[in-house]
Amino acid sequence: MTCKPYDVLAPFTLRAIDRVDPSAAGVYGFWYRRECIYIGLAVNLRGRLRQHWAGSHNEGLKDWMKAKKSDLTFNYKIARPEDDIKLMERFFIRRFSPKTNVIVYSAHQQPIWLCDS
C-alpha cells in the first residue's frame, strides 16, 4: 500500500491473487474505484486474499463483494521482518478510512479497529 493506492491496484481475481508471493506477510486493501473499502493484515497474504475470494465473515465486506466483486481491486504492502504489521494496518486504516472496517472504543475512549484478519 502506498499513499497513492491507485498506482499499484490489481483486479480482484484469482489470477492476480496467485501472483502474490506465497510467503509474504503484510497489509492489504480492497478498493472500489478510488475508494477504500477494507484494510486488513495477514501473515500469509496470498492465503488471506484467497479466503476473501471464497467469502468474508465481515458482513460489510461480504456485501461489497456480492454486489461489486468484479469491480473491486486490491493492493498490498509486504512487511519486512522488522515491521510491525499491526501498526502498519492501523496507519493505513487511519489514512484511508475504509468503509467496512469496524471501530469500537476502549475503556479510555481510544478507538480500536477490529478487522476480520
**Which residue ranges make up each domain of the chain?**
5-114
Q: Is the pLDDT of residue 108 over 60?
A: no
The pLDDT of residue 36 is above 80? yes
Measured between alpha carbons, how far is residue 91 from residues 18, 41, 80 in Å? 26, 12, 16
pLDDT at 106 over 80: no
Average model confidence (pLDDT) across the chain: 81
Residue 18 contacts residue 46 (beta carbons within 8 Å): yes
The predicted pLDDT at position 74 comes to: 94
Which pLDDT score is estimated for 104?
52
pTM comes to 0.79
For range 8-28, the mean pLDDT: 90
pLDDT at 4 over 60: no
Q: Which CATH architecture has domain 5-114?
A: 3-Layer(aba) Sandwich (3.40)
Residue with cell 486474499: 49
